Amino acid sequence: MDLYIPPDITFVVLTTITLLAAIMALQAKELIYGAISLAISFIGIAGFFVSLDAPYLAMLQIAVYVGAVVVLILFTIMLVRRDEADKDEMGESGQGAAGLWIAGLLAVSIAGVAALAGPNLPTTPPAGNLPISQLGPVVAVSYSVPLIILALLLSGALLGALVLAKVDR
């Protein structure tokens, strides 16, 4: 496999758009322009996925990142006033202990899952150009361990978000 990439015009255009939009997202004076250029940058990354023969990933990139994450960012920009955002709130000590407990539990369960099923992970990736209908079995059967670990992490994050949201009331 050689590392030489042909000067593909799609690749050049996509890279330019993605990088310019990413730079714009960091440099924009108005936060909302930053959010919009972040969305454009995400769409550029989705274009990369399409050019890498992963249309499923590209569509999910658009739906999740552009459709949901950017919306969340817009929400944050518009609803949270800047002086409120700067205030640093310290949680109570009981919460800290509970958080440590949950973090420990999560770490133990993730380590348990990984230790039980880790050696069975396939070391070679599946053959390229997989049709979408075959994607499910590959993810849910061969790569079930990373999937479970991800699910545990996400549920931990969800619990944390619930706790944070509950404190405000």
Site residues, other proteins (CB under 8 A):
32, 36, 39, 55-56, 59-60, 62-63, 66-68, 70-71, 74-75, 78, 131-133
Q: What gap in Å lies between CA 35 and CA 131, rounded to an integer?
A: 34
Q: Which is nearer to other proteins, 1 or 165 (CB)?
A: 165
Least CB distance to other proteins at residue 148 (A): 20
Q: Which is nearer to other proteins, 50 or 106 (CB)?
A: 50
Q: Which is nearer to other proteins, 108 or 162 (CB)?
A: 162
Cα-to-chain-centroid distance, residue 20: 21
Sign of CA dihedral 110, 115, 117, 120: positive
Least CB distance to other proteins at residue 70 (A): 5
User: How many C-beta neighbours within 10 Å does residue 156 have?
Assistant: 17
Q: Which is nearer to other proteins, 71 or 103 (CB)?
A: 71
Least CB distance to other proteins at residue 139 (A): 15
Least CB distance to other proteins at residue 79 (A): 8
- What value does the CA radius of gyration of the chain take, rounded to a whole number of Å? 21
DSSP 116-162: HHGGGS-SSPPPSS--HHHHHHIIIIITHHHHHHHHHHHHHHHHHHH
